[in-house]
Structure 1
Amino acid sequence: MKKQTMKIPSAYLPVMPYLVLDKAPEFLDYVKKVFGAAEQMIVPGDEGRGIMHGEIKIHDAVIMFAGSTETWQQKTAGMFLFVENLERVYNAAIEQGGTSLQKPEQKEYGYSAGFEDPFGNQWWITQG
């Protein structure tokens, strides 16, 4: 039997978070300001949904998201990211309405911090 290889499109990774959010357009604005995220794809939704499907890139990482509906309720997540400038990202996250979970400090695994965004997602960041 011949082994098949996966055909993952070049703009994607084998595993990507998919968030369903009550305020998807506001989330998009937040991640642009905090992480410098780039839009990879935004598919507008119907009235009241805002975004039917969205994709952002933070460095090489892709995060997919969509606006919630009565059928598809909000599903948040916890994510870990390596960042170049931890202080800038952490401060921007708090200034944009995030809540601190862990102030920046040196840990055995690196300079790290944590925060929750206004949409219920937890972000754990370590300076790379």
Structure 2
Amino acid sequence: MNIPQNYLPVMPYLILKESKAFMGFTKIVFGAKEQLIVPGKKDTIMHGELKIHDAVIMFAQAGETWTEKTAGMYIYVTDVNNVYQKALENGATALMAPEKKEYGYSGGFEDPFGNHWWIVEG
């Protein structure tokens, strides 16, 4: 198998109504870095790749050809409380307040774009 260096065997690919706003949200909340951004029409993103630690999330603007497809993601972070608070301050909705679980300190939220994020301290 020949997987390019900046990719993993499995990566989420989100189709979103507000591609640019999603990119901004992930940068603020998770410290995501742009790996590749291909601009689309009318200030949108035709294809985007964001890197959070070693993980890559691909995304694009929804439209007539490609309809919205959101996802649920499980992500390890260094500070659950900080990420959770940043998310809520930037338009996310609480799904589960941070608390100690059998698998670790965890919380969950829905971002303004319909994606669910389950964050766990790693």
Same fold (TM over 0.5): yes
In the TM superposition, residue 69 of structure 1 has moved relative to its aligned partner by: 1.1
Q: Secondary structure at the match of 1:13?
A: coil
What's the C-alpha RMSD, in Å, of the aligned pairs?
0.7
* Residue 78 of structure 2 corresponds to residue 84 of structure 1: yes
Q: Give the equivalent residue in structure 2 for 1:3.
A: none
In the TM superposition, residue 47 of structure 1 has moved relative to its aligned partner by: 2.6
Aligned counterpart for 1:61 among listed residues 55, 76, 81: 55
* Residue 45 of structure 2 corresponds to residue 51 of structure 1: yes
What does residue range 1-128 of structure 1 map to in structure 2 within 5 Å?
6-47=1-42, 50-128=44-122
In the TM superposition, residue 71 of structure 1 has moved relative to its aligned partner by: 1.2
Percent identity (aligned): 61
Q: Which amino acid aligns with 2:108?
A: G
Residues 49-72 of structure 1: CA deviation (Å, up to 9, x unaligned): x00000000000000000011110
C-alpha separation between the residues in 1 aligned to 2:26 and 2:12?
A: 14
In the TM superposition, residue 30 of structure 1 has moved relative to its aligned partner by: 0.2
C-alpha separation between the residues in 2 aligned to 1:47 and 1:55?
A: 19
Q: Secondary structure at the match of 2:75?
A: strand
* Unmatched 5+ stretches in structure 2: none
In the TM superposition, residue 18 of structure 1 has moved relative to its aligned partner by: 0.1
| TM-score scaled by length of structure 1 | 0.94
Residues 58-98 of structure 1: CA deviation (Å, up to 9, x unaligned): 00000000001111011000000000111110000000000
Structure 1 consecutive aligned stretches of length 4 or more whose deviation exceeds 4 Å: none
Q: Which has the larger radius of gyration?
A: 1
Q: How many residues align structurally?
A: 122
